[in-house]
Amino acid sequence: MKLVILDRDGVINYDSEHFVKSAAEWKAIPGSLEAIAKLNQAGYKVVVATNQSGIGRGLFDMDTLNAMHEKMHRAVQSVGGRIDAIFYCPHSADSNCKCRKPKPGMLERISGCFNTDLSGVYAIGDSLRDLQAAVSAGARPVLVLTGKGKFTHAEEDLPEGTLVFADLAEAVGHILHS
């Protein structure tokens, strides 16, 4: 199965240090929606894996998260693409759950739901925890320099084999031509 896993905030849409807390605040990064559509057109399933601790912190509720995701689905569909599934962790960082990245639980759940091994699957994120979750789950870590990506690239010790691209569009160009 051709599958790509994407983090949401900082990869598909602009991130905020104060969290993206409403559908109105959700704004796509230029080129990201079209990149998802290109993956779909090449036969890839696209799955989002996102930490959403704003729920656990009480900054927004499930209805608000669903409204953000509905806006994202509509935006991707407007350019001819689709997101096949969204997996999220609603827990705060201190909850010690198994699904919050950098732990691999969310990616392992994706593997189980899609009945596929994640070796060779690109997992694209903008933070060290995205990359660590990818490596722990056996996926291929990819860093984009949007969102927190420039800081991550400059300040963090990236996992071995991490690919680095300017943005999702550039990462997808690599995936489609490799």
Give the tens place of pLDDT for each residue, 139-170. Answer: 999 999 999 999 999 998 999 999 999 999 99
Q: Is 9 one of the annotated active-site residues of the chain?
A: yes
Q: pLDDT, tens digit, for every residue of 58-103?
A: 999 999 999 999 999 999 999 999 999 999 999 998 888 999 999 9
65, 86 Cβ separation under 8 angstroms:
no
Q: How many C-beta atoms surround the C-beta of residue 87 within 10 A?
A: 16
Q: Which of 7, 15, 126, 130 is catalytic?
A: 7
**Looking at domain 3-176, which of 1.10.3720.10, 3.40.50.1000, 3.40.190.10, 2.130.10.10 is its CATH number?**
3.40.50.1000
Residue 17 confidence class, pLDDT cut points 50, 70, 90: confident
| Predicted structure pTM score | 0.97
Contact 86, 50 (CB under 8 A): yes
Q: Are strands 45-51 and 85-89 parallel, antiparallel or unpaired?
A: parallel
Single out the residue of 139, 155, 144, 111 nearest to residue 12, CA to CA. Answer: 144
Mean pLDDT of the chain, nearest integer: 97
- Summarize the confidence of residues 31-53 as an average pLDDT: 98
Q: Please identify which of the residues 9, 126, 130, 167 carries the catalytic annotation.
A: 9
Mean pLDDT across 9-20: 94
177 pLDDT above the threshold of 90: yes
- State yes or no: is 157 an active-site residue: no
pLDDT at 40 over 90: yes
